[in-house]
Homo-oligomer: A and B are copies of this chain.
Amino acid sequence: MATNAPAKTSFHMTPEEFRNRGHAVVDWIADYYQKIEAFPVLSKVEPGDIRSQLPQEAPAHPEPFEQILADVEKLIVPGITHWQSPNFFAFFPCNASGPAILGDLLSSGFGVQGMLWATSPACTELETHVLDWLVNALGLPEKFRSSNTGGGVIQDTASSSALCAVLAARERATKFISNRTGAKQKLVAYTSNQAHSSIEKAVKIAGVGSENLRLVAVDETLAMRPEALVAAIQQDKAAGSTPFFVCGTVGTTSSNGMDPLDKIGAICRQQNLWFHVDAAMSGTAALCPEFRHFQNGLEHADSYCFNPHKWMFTNFDCDCFYVADRKGLVDTLSVLPEYLRNKATESGAVIDYRDWHVPLGRRFRALKLWFVLRYYGIEGLQFHVREHVRLAQEFAAWVREDKRFELVVPPPLNLVCFRLNGSDELNQKLMDALNRSGDLYLTHTKLNGRVVLRMSIAQTNTEQRHVEKAWRRIREEASRLA
């Protein structure tokens, strides 16, 4: 060993090395997508399998990049559940696409912080602009545009949007006293018993308390019953509580139930309640005018969110959150220490997105959304959304035709809820057998107390042949279980 080797003066990757290594990683990803159907969709590892192959301590000295990339293949891939496989039909989609991944790569490369307008004006302005684009593209109410009283912001998830909506509602209802003295009022929130669990989480975080969240009954389409909402509000008022927040859903997680926003919204206006609409997955469908009727009544909403990272080919994280009154949101979340003061903020001419959500720091997420909107155009996005809906409707027709199966609810869009005639256990067994096979991955829920299988058709690369194969495999396993 050379004893007089010169000491290293940098351990950084040079731009030239980045160029070479970067090409290798891009190639790795391209190869991954070319062979993705060869992997079992659901990872087959057992708890601890991944960790047991990793060294006990962090490496003391640098390791070659080739070795790290080789270990991704060897140690990580077996523990991956392939959300980008066209045979992924579980939960909701979490779609990536080429333009999104590359837009996000540029965001990593710039490495800017968009907490204030001044800390990278393009980061804030592109975000505001692209979210304004989507108001028109989705047929959202004009009040959500930044040129009006509202505006949009990118959050990580619909859970965070729900939290911000609950907080702004809490402050509006209590005239900003909760922020100062604590959430000591007897506030009550409402959503359907099919709503996403993030509403309960938000209500707990905000200090409202889960006992003060009413889970309103639904009708046979699993949509909130407006008269049940009215009754719950009246009961709470009679008990001396203060109703303050209602969340309606466009496309519930379990079954894609569609709450009647027009009726719920009218109730909220009459009762002066904050109306939040969660369209996390299904909101993207509004790109197509023929699916826009599900959001009738959205003009009553105080806030709205949908996730391009679900069905709009924009990789995670990208949740678009809109408010009708941005001042109310900013007043709820703003804290301005001296070290963040700057001329642009004080001029009042700019948006500082740090006041629109929980985190202070924020990355340049609008880039990937901008890339997607331009690369596909509205035309391209509409094409693939329509195709997914067509495939789901076709799958539902096959279920209807096979007497062994039951279509549990008519699918409004791209999520099909069905079950094999028989016990919950039988359906669970069917699902486990399919998932264990690695040929496809689907998940379950409970509707009206029964286990139901969910076929969510919206992965970027899912085509007719994947849905046909899935149905063939489902019938095969059902026969085997019979």
A47 touching B349, Cβ below 8 Å: yes
Mark interface residues in A1-30 (1 if CB within 8 Å of B CB, else 0): 000000010111111111101110111111
Choose among B13, B47, B105, B370 the residue that contacts A350 (Cβ–Cβ < 8 A): B47
Alpha-carbon distance between A22 and B349 when the two chains are bound, in angstroms: 37
> Which bracket fits the contact residues of A?
35 or more
Mark interface residues in A97-122 (1 if CB within 8 Å of B CB, else 0): 11111101110111111000111111
Alpha-carbon distance between A341 and B347 when the two chains are bound, in angstroms: 50
With A58-B134, A61-B377, A136-B58 known as contacts, the answer to whether A101 contacts B109 (CB < 8 A) is yes
With A72-B106, A337-B253, A350-B47 known as contacts, the answer to whether A23 contacts B25 (CB < 8 A) is no
Chain B residue with Cβ nearest A337: B197
Choose among B182, B374, B446 the residue that contacts A59 (Cβ–Cβ < 8 A): B374
Q: Is A317 an interface residue (CB 8 A)?
A: yes
A102 touching B208, Cβ below 8 Å: no
Q: Would you give the shortest CB distance from A442 to chain B, in whole angstroms? A: 11
Choose among B18, B31, B184 the residue that contacts A98 (Cβ–Cβ < 8 A): B18
Q: Is A221 an interface residue (CB 8 A)?
A: no
| Main SS at interface, chain A | helix
Task: Identify which of residues 293-314 in chain A touch chain B, using a CB-to-CB cut-off of 8 Å.
Answer: 309, 313
Choose among B48, B97, B206, B383 the residue that contacts A8 (Cβ–Cβ < 8 A): B383
B183 touching A80, Cβ below 8 Å: no
With A60-B377, A339-B454, A361-B94 known as contacts, the answer to whether A30 contacts B34 (CB < 8 A) is no
Alpha-carbon distance between A123 and B8 when the two chains are bound, in angstroms: 33
Choose among B15, B57, B253, B347 the residue that contacts A33 (Cβ–Cβ < 8 A): B15
Residue numbers in B under 8 Å from A180 (CB-CB): 209-211
B181 touching A129, Cβ below 8 Å: no
Q: Would you give the shortest CB distance from A74 to chain B, in whole angstroms? A: 11
Task: Identify which of residues 335-394 in chain A touch chain B, using a CB-to-CB cut-off of 8 Å.
Answer: 335-340, 344, 347, 349-350, 358-361, 363, 367, 370-371, 373-381, 383-384
Alpha-carbon distance between A254 and B339 when the two chains are bound, in angstroms: 7
A121 touching B26, Cβ below 8 Å: no
With A358-B205, A361-B94 known as contacts, the answer to whether A374 contacts B47 (CB < 8 A) is no
Residue numbers in B under 8 Å from A204 (CB-CB): 178-179, 335
A91 touching B109, Cβ below 8 Å: no
Q: Is A231 an interface residue (CB 8 A)?
A: no
